[in-house]
Structure 1
Amino acid sequence: MNDLVLEGFVKNFAEARGLSHLQSDELFEAFVAAAIFRKYHQADITDIEDGALIGGSGDGGLDAVAILVNGRPARTEEDVKFFVENLRRLDVEFVFVQAKSSTSFRSADIGNFTYGVEQFFASVLSSEPRIGFNSQVQQLINLTRDIYDQGIHMQENPKCFLYYVTAGSWTEAPDPRGRLTDGENRLRNLDIFSEVNAMPVDADLLKAVYRELERGVVKEVEFNKTAVFPRIDEVDEAYIGLLRGDEFIRMISTDDGDLNRELFFDNVRDFQGHNPVNSEINHTLAASQLRRNFPLLNNGVTIVARELSRRGDIFRISDFQIVNGCQTTHILFQNKTKIDADTFIPVKLVATSDTQVITEVIKATNRQTAVHPEALESLTKFHKDLEDFYSIREADRDLPDRIHYERRSKQYARDNISPKNIVTLTAQIKSYIGMFLNEPHSHPRYYGELLRSYEGRIFANDHKPAPYYASGVALQTIENWLNSRQADREMRFYKYQLLMLLRAQISGPHVPKPNSNVISEYSLKIVDILRDPERRDKECRRAAELLRATLDKFGTRRGERNPPHRLRAFTEQLIKSISHGHPVQTDRKRQKSVTPRGSERGQIIWFDEWKNYGFIERDSGGDIFVHESQINSIPWHLRLPGKRVQYEVVSNPKSPTMLMASKVKLE
């Protein structure tokens, strides 16, 4: 990479998000994924790194993959079911990224990338893929199959976008362009997409995309048909009027011509697709005479901006959100070729930096029609009180080290706070459920589904704020600890399981009632220990060792499509390890004191014929390792969970401090 400005962007990105531990190629991939995917949805970088980045061999030339359903990242079959049940429709987008920090657009690399995407969908269609994908890609393939199985709920086929990104300059050379075009055509020929677009992204475009995302939304529009609101407390300025259609389209578009989805992060209602109301808007825009009547036929759009300046009829609007009028905006953008200077959009423009005023505007402008309960969750008093609790508890810490609860998206965008020190609403939900409800396997699910599934068990009015605060601090602690490379990469997928283990290790396995006074002391003890560097590292290592040992014992379940971190069965195995005297041997001193005890009986927990080892649950308590060489007297098809066996207990020759089963036979 020879672009000093781009290098500076990548460096700032790494420091702000705690990713300086990554190798240069990995860091560039994370940077590109964050920039590209945020064009579609404001995903946390931890979600991007853990869920979208593809690591290791067998990636098929795919550095990052995002599957968006109704504008939200989907990671599980439950996400898809949630949108089907609640919206009765699926709008699906597949986004594939290949990032190269080199300065060239090599035709061969582009060909490998588009071929990898083609083979991804060949696997979905049950054709024989010509390349083998790793487990992470295979999970995405399985999810894609689930989505197409729900095709009856799609108003149109999914869209597919490919981004090939380098740190060089795109020159429209025939060979690279030909490879991209060929890849597009091959994907179109599958006849499963409504749109396919393979796009080159060079250093200049990448910098432009990142600048636009980082600086917040800033637009200048000519707004000459306005009336000024009378003075309102805590509101800097407020206007109501008619904005020319072409100016409105320019205001809601990104620099590269896409709909700017960042404008809707505070909007409490998702785009509803072509429902009767939206179809009526479409009909209005289709005829020139009706377009002129648009201000009479539509309630328009409400915009809240944190900063507004005016020179005559030119308004400079900074850091703004469309808090009401999501449906209108989407339909207008879909019809942008029909919108001209003779079409006017009713617009209410409010400039304020007061959080409470913004909240009241959002509530008031969305009372007229029904919204999903989860959409208004962050506006409740509980979350304002929780935000205050974070502030009070963190007040004595140095400013750069303070943790902040962000109950509204981009709440701290103008406050120079590092993203790694922000606990988002989504992160708060997932960390609390994983840490205090003992259900870390639920973390991949969409936050709206989690709120509904755990209604009454999370964010209840009488709940104490301390456990929520503790889970937020613990999540940030685990993130920093994992980023320091003190555990292998795989542990990133188990961070919510690590939260559960940390809680049980530090304060005990039994969780007090969330509305009791005891829960506060129980939770803040965790925070105190995690703020002590020596004790923090000790507890994190201890949790990781127990998790690794349990993971080795759990193994790979034949026929199971999900990895252990998504399985309730694995969570239950972890809880068993915590609750029953830690049967998984992780204490080195205790291991040295254990000696062989002769003949024993037990039952097989699992045995993997590919790994050539497994574990037996001992009648005497705990479990014991068994190698294939010591169980070969039992036919492989009888080495099943629950099978009763007897065996000799001996020292493991490869690790004298460990025991293993020898001469295993059926009981």
Structure 2
Amino acid sequence: MKLTTNSQRILHELFMQEYQDNSAYTDEGAFFEKFGAEQVMKVFDLSDEEVESGVLGAGNDGGCDSIYVLLDGVLMTEDIVNDISTSKDATIDFIIIQAKRENSFGEDAIMKWKTTTENLMEIGVDDTEFIGRYNEDLRSAFSLFRNLYVKLLRRTPKLNIRFFYTTFATEVHPNVQSQADELRTKTLELFPSPKTSVSIDFWGADRILSAAQAQPEQKIQISLTEPPINIGNHHDYVTLVNLGKYYRFITDEHGDLRKYIFEANVRDYQGHNAVNQDIQASLEAPTVEDFWWLNNGITILTNEAIPVTTKELILTEPEIVNGLQTSNEIFNYFHSYPNNINLETRNILVRIIVPESEESRDRIILATNNQTNIPRSSLRANDPIHRQIELFFKGRGLYYDRRKNYYKNQGKKSSDIVSVSFLAQCLISLILQKPNYARARPSTVIAQDETYERLFIENQDLDVFYKSAYLGKKVEHCLKKSNEFTQAQKNDILFYVLLCVVAKKLETTNITPKAIKEINLEYLSDEDILDSAIQVFAEYDALGGDGKVAKGPELIDKIMQIASTTERANIPLVGATV
């Protein structure tokens, strides 16, 4: 690939550095698919785990290297869609990405998109007739989109269908642009609604480089209506902020919502219709009352609040922990009426708090959100046990991401970051022996009280959590490096392989927390994992080798038979230093 511009050369160097830091990837083209998707999806503040979940990574992808379905900015999975509840003015984003490590945009990619869209995007299509033509992950992604759209149809959602073509190119040939225009027209014909928008974005070297070098702002300035009230001897403030100025605070230079400043567990909650509609109504139909008279306001936690002038503060790593729905409606209002930003005279009440400790931070989040309708399960990452897990992991080279993307934004490697849901999936697979449940419900595994209480037991030995996560990440890393399986197959068998290899090492299918604690991590090799993976895959393939098998109960029995009958070496379990 010939690189002729400085942007191309810099992007190439940056990409190669990222590639060399990700040892799980052995193919530059495959890593560029993940790299390209990561840049495009930055605006949605997805975790590395979420980005990788959308990368198809197999042949027969219809020109779609990555696909993401989002509802109001929240990544959708099958288990979430089944229980979805949203407001009337919901927004669906259906994002399709093609990432090629080439220095030009080609017509072929657009032509593939036209065919794939025609075959799979139409509501009511029977995609079983395309089993031989398109891979399972692609068909599942389009099915997820269709199911979500149909489920929300009576609520007339806004639909954004967005195609992104990412390469090292510097320009778009007119013929390619013509193909893109045809794709847009054909896609709009499938969803002929004034609330549907279709775009085809060409991301060349300049645009990718700009996204790759962009980092979340650590310090953000907020302008106040009047000098704030300072509470006690602390740098905590109560103040009024003009609605237009607040909009500036929660958006970046491109006018996009700074999702990373919203506390992750709160922001993913889908609010009730009436609440959002009331806020929207008060914004669009001003009354004699100021806005802050009619609204509970916003709570912001920050590491530091420094006065710049009497009416300006600089907040370090601000985090909005209460007032999500209000903030979103303010964003939607000014996004729809940008001319009103500088004309706005109304205000919102803002509380700015500098917590003295992590414990204080968590108590504030729980207290402020207990006064709303947010389910307790949405705030579980703030329970003391998760704070203990985070501290324990950090001293052993793993980073527990109970504050979504906190460690990613600090530059930690994705291979060392463990999400709350991933740890829960590992525990469910090992302690409950339900890898099918872990595979089928990746986003809601700890939503049920009974399941949560069995996994995250108070005063549980923290080694149990650490070793479960360590083993899960090791299996994940080993499968990523393997060329034996497709990406869809790796996703399907991951937690079965984890269960199998641990049961074989422990020489028992009765895996208890105590047994996990005693596992000697030094004696688990890549060869052990690959051996179990091959055995698991053989059974998985014999049963049909698809997502339905991975999410069903039959494969578990097969894995337990392997674990209980395979001859094992007599390897010590205890005594090694972790």
TM-score range, shorter chain: 0.7 to 0.9
Alignment of 1:17-166 (within 5 A): 18-19=22-23, 21-45=25-49, 47-49=50-52, 51-69=53-71, 71-76=73-78, 78-84=79-85, 92-122=92-122, 124-126=124-126, 132-151=133-152, 154-156=155-157, 158-166=159-167
Deviation at 1:366, TM superposition (A): 1.5
Cα separation, 2, equivalents of 1:317 and 1:210: 24
Instruction: Tell me which residue corresponds to 2:308.
Output: 311
| Contact 1:387 1:406 survives alignment (8 Å) | yes
- Let me know the Cα RMSD of the aligned residues: 3.2
Other structure's SS at 2:266 match: coil
- 1:282 corresponds to which letter in structure 2? Q
Instruction: Tell me which residue corresponds to 2:547.
Output: 562
- 1:553 corresponds to which letter in structure 2? A
Q: Is 1:433 equivalent to 2:422 in the alignment?
A: no
Stretches of structure 1 lacking an aligned partner (at least 5 in a row)? 395-401, 588-667
Q: Describe the superposition over 1:56-79 as per-residue Cα deviations: whole angstroms up to 9, x where unpaired.
A: 321111110012245433332x33
Instruction: Tell me which residue corresponds to 1:545.
Output: 534
| Contact 1:243 1:347 survives alignment (8 Å) | yes
Q: Is 1:575 equivalent to 2:560 in the alignment?
A: yes
Cα separation, 2, equivalents of 1:153 and 1:466: 49
Instruction: Tell me which residue corresponds to 1:5.
Output: 10
Deviation at 1:552, TM superposition (A): 4.0
More strand by share: 1
| Contact 1:266 1:322 survives alignment (8 Å) | no
Q: Is 1:523 equivalent to 2:516 in the alignment?
A: yes
Cα separation, 2, equivalents of 1:129 and 1:416: 41
- 2:161 corresponds to which letter in structure 1? C
| Contact 1:19 1:27 survives alignment (8 Å) | no
Which of 464, 469, 472 is residue 466 of structure 2 equivalent to? 469
Cα separation, 1, equivalents of 2:33 and 2:108: 19
Deviation at 1:437, TM superposition (A): 1.6
Alignment of 1:452-467 (within 5 A): 452=448, 454-461=451-458, 463-467=460-464
| Contact 1:104 1:168 survives alignment (8 Å) | yes
Deviation at 1:546, TM superposition (A): 1.9
Instruction: Tell me which residue corresponds to 2:203.
Output: 201
Q: Relative to 1, partners in 2 of residues 1:221 and 1:151: Cα closer, same or farther, differing over 3 Å?
A: closer
Instruction: Tell me which residue corresponds to 1:418.
Output: 413
| Contact 2:424 2:445 survives alignment (8 Å) | no
Q: Describe the superposition over 1:313-369 as per-residue Cα deviations: whole angstroms up to 9, x where unpaired.
A: 443434322111110011111111144342323222234584223212212221322
Instruction: Tell me which residue corresponds to 2:573.
Output: none
Q: Relative to 1, partners in 2 of residues 1:182 and 1:407: Cα closer, same or farther, differing over 3 Å?
A: same
Q: Relative to 1, partners in 2 of residues 1:441 and 1:486: Cα closer, same or farther, differing over 3 Å?
A: same
More displaced 10-residue stretch of structure 1: 197-206 or 266-275: 266-275
Alignment of 1:294-333 (within 5 A): 294-312=291-309, 313-333=311-331
| Contact 1:227 1:239 survives alignment (8 Å) | yes
Deviation at 1:96, TM superposition (A): 0.8
More displaced 10-residue stretch of structure 1: 492-501 or 360-369: 360-369
- Of structures 1 and 2, the larger Rg is shown by 1
Deviation at 1:282, TM superposition (A): 1.3
Other structure's SS at 2:10 match: helix
| Contact 1:165 1:202 survives alignment (8 Å) | yes
Q: Relative to 1, partners in 2 of residues 1:221 and 1:94: Cα closer, same or farther, differing over 3 Å?
A: same
Q: TM-score, normalised by structure 2?
A: 0.85
Cα separation, 1, equivalents of 2:122 and 2:156: 23
| Contact 2:437 2:551 survives alignment (8 Å) | yes
Cα separation, 2, equivalents of 1:409 and 1:169: 34
| Contact 2:62 2:134 survives alignment (8 Å) | yes
Deviation at 1:372, TM superposition (A): 1.1
Deviation at 1:563, TM superposition (A): 4.3
Q: TM-score, normalised by structure 1?
A: 0.74
Stretches of structure 2 lacking an aligned partner (at least 5 in a row)? 569-578
Instruction: Tell me which residue corresponds to 1:185.
Output: 185
Cα separation, 2, equivalents of 1:64 and 1:363: 36
Q: Relative to 1, partners in 2 of residues 1:549 and 1:133: Cα closer, same or farther, differing over 3 Å?
A: closer
Cα separation, 1, equivalents of 2:11 and 2:35: 10
Cα separation, 2, equivalents of 1:319 and 1:25: 35
Instruction: Tell me which residue corresponds to 1:280.
Output: 278
Number of aligned residue pairs: 550
- 1:371 corresponds to which letter in structure 2? I
- 1:524 corresponds to which letter in structure 2? K
Cα separation, 2, equivalents of 1:573 and 1:434: 14
Deviation at 1:126, TM superposition (A): 4.3
Instruction: Tell me which residue corresponds to 1:626.
Output: none
Q: Describe the superposition over 1:156-210 as per-residue Cα deviations: whole angstroms up to 9, x where unpaired.
A: 2543222222223356x65444433332222121126633232222333323333
Cα separation, 1, equivalents of 2:192 and 2:501: 46
Instruction: Tell me which residue corresponds to 1:643.
Output: none
| Contact 1:123 1:141 survives alignment (8 Å) | no
Deviation at 1:240, TM superposition (A): 2.1
| Contact 1:431 1:496 survives alignment (8 Å) | yes
| Contact 1:451 1:458 survives alignment (8 Å) | no
Other structure's SS at 1:39 match: helix
- 2:77 corresponds to which letter in structure 1? R
| Contact 1:41 1:72 survives alignment (8 Å) | no
Cα separation, 1, equivalents of 2:360 and 2:158: 41
Higher RCO, Cα 8 Å, sep 6+: 2
Cα separation, 2, equivalents of 1:412 and 1:553: 40
Deviation at 1:379, TM superposition (A): 1.1
| Contact 2:24 2:478 survives alignment (8 Å) | no
Alignment of 1:235-314 (within 5 A): 237-268=235-266, 270=268, 272=270, 275-289=273-287, 293-312=290-309, 313-314=311-312
Instruction: Tell me which residue corresponds to 1:621.
Output: none
Q: Describe the superposition over 1:577-635 as per-residue Cα deviations: whole angstroms up to 9, x where unpaired.
A: 323x24xxx99xxxxxxxxxxxxxxxxxxxxxxxxxxxxxxxxxxxxxxxxxxxxxxxx
Instruction: Tell me which residue corresponds to 1:614.
Output: none
Cα separation, 2, equivalents of 1:358 and 1:70: 26
Deviation at 1:121, TM superposition (A): 0.3
- 1:121 corresponds to which letter in structure 2? M
Which of 377, 382, 386 is residue 374 of structure 1 equivalent to? 377
Q: Relative to 1, partners in 2 of residues 1:130 and 1:482: Cα closer, same or farther, differing over 3 Å?
A: closer
Cα separation, 1, equivalents of 2:88 and 2:539: 40
Identity of aligned residues (%): 20
Other structure's SS at 1:256 match: coil
Cα separation, 2, equivalents of 1:54 and 1:351: 42
Cα separation, 1, equivalents of 2:72 and 2:358: 28
Q: Describe the superposition over 1:239-259 as per-residue Cα deviations: whole angstroms up to 9, x where unpaired.
A: 221223232222222343222
Instruction: Tell me which residue corresponds to 1:407.
Output: 402
Cα separation, 1, equivalents of 2:131 and 2:107: 20
Q: Relative to 1, partners in 2 of residues 1:130 and 1:15: Cα closer, same or farther, differing over 3 Å?
A: closer
Alignment of 1:599-614 (within 5 A): none
Cα separation, 1, equivalents of 2:83 and 2:88: 9
Deviation at 1:22, TM superposition (A): 3.6
Other structure's SS at 2:261 match: helix
Cα separation, 2, equivalents of 1:413 and 1:140: 26
